[in-house]
Amino acid sequence: MSPVKPPLSLRGLSKSYGGQLVVDGFDLELEPGRCHGLLGPNGAGKTTTLRLALGLIGADAGTVELLGYPMPDQARLARRKVGVVPQVDSLDPDFTVGENLQTYGRYFGLSGKVIAERIPSLLDFAGLAGKADAPILTLSGGMKRRLTLARALVNDPDLIFLDEPTTGLDPQARHLIWQGLRRLIAQGKTLLLTTHFMDEAERLCDVISVMDKGRIIVRGSPRELIAGHIEPHVVEIYGDGLGEWSACASSFCRRCEQAGETLFCYTDDPEKLVAELEASQGLRYLHRPANLEDVFLKLTGRDLRD
């Protein structure tokens, strides 16, 4: 029996624009039935990687296999079982919710009858039950995003690409999308997710690849990345007198970083530091376990990227 092919395999993938290497010769293989996160600051090359994976652009070097099909040559065949939630919603404002699903489903060669049968469960999944006849203009931002997710499922895909699926949404809408994504993972779908929300990646992803400057710099489960790349305790210090305190904070912790008005202290043993802060006047602090955002900032830096 031949081994099962990975849903997506990228080998030695490179892409340049105007002499700048945007994707710099990396390998990535997705495991089926898992949620994979692709994280990185702006300009890291995430969207270009997704576009290469989908065969929307060709690579300068390397190979892409999507659901076993070589890309971009067999993109049409591969995309029959792929769903895409793009960064920006591209719903047709002149159509209703149901008409949008119908139009999208037809791209995959599905009959009107098959799509019509799928619409109630897709809308139910997206928390939009009963909205089939609603014009797009009447939907909130969260509803539009959920409809875009439902639309990506119209062809019952095995692999779903999600490019920042919750950007611009309020916390309630984000939680609803997370619920939906967890249900897809439970159904055995493979997800490839880009996001700037580290809590989203930490909650949803089984495996995370952090990208910067076109390369993957680390890969692992959220827990592995936190355990392997950062001190376990973080004490955030802010308030009056931080200036004077910053100078001596390094004697209480392994690493300190100032970002704006907050001093971040990373340590294995926070006891002395916390006792000192308790005794100080004016300073405020938050002691918490290290998280994925701490790892991300350590690996990619705190400088603003445009």
Under the rule (CB under 6 A), what is the footprint of ligand ADP?
A: 17, 22, 40, 42-48
> Whole-angstrom distance between the N-terminal and C-terminal Cα of the chain?
49
Report the nearest approach of ligand ADP to the CB of residue 139 (Å).
26
Look-up: residue for tokens 């993957």? 216
Nearest alpha-carbon partner for 188 in 162, 165, 167, 206: 206
Report the nearest approach of ligand ADP to the CB of residue 86 (Å).
12
Strand partners, 219: 209
CA 225 to chain CA centroid, Å, is 16
What values do phi and psi take at 254, rounded to 5?
A: -75, -35
Q: Name the residue nearer to ligand ADP (CB basis): 38 or 234.
A: 38
Q: Name the residue nearer to ligand ADP (CB basis): 53 or 119.
A: 53
Report the nearest approach of ligand ADP to the CB of residue 5 (Å).
26
Report the nearest approach of ligand ADP to the CB of residue 17 (Å).
3
Nearest alpha-carbon partner for 166 in 185, 146, 152: 146
> Measured over all CA atoms, what is the biggest interatomic distance in the chain, rounded to whole angstroms?
71
Q: Name the residue nearer to ligand ADP (CB basis): 17 or 107.
A: 17
Cβ neighbors of 37 (< 8 A, separation 6 or more) are 193, 194, 195, 201, 204, 205, 207, 208, 209
Q: Using CA of residue 60, residue 218, residue 210, residue 67, what is the dihedral sign? A: positive
Q: Name the residue nearer to ligand ADP (CB basis): 24 or 31.
A: 24
Q: Name the residue nearer to ligand ADP (CB basis): 81 or 213.
A: 213
Report the nearest approach of ligand ADP to the CB of residue 163 (Å).
8
State the Cα–Cα distance between residues 115 and 155, nearest whole angstrom.
9
Q: Name the residue nearer to ligand ADP (CB basis): 48 or 102.
A: 48
Residues 173, 144 contacting (CB under 8 angstroms)? no
Q: Name the residue nearer to ligand ADP (CB basis): 10 or 110.
A: 10
State the Cα–Cα distance between residues 34 and 250, nearest whole angstrom.
40
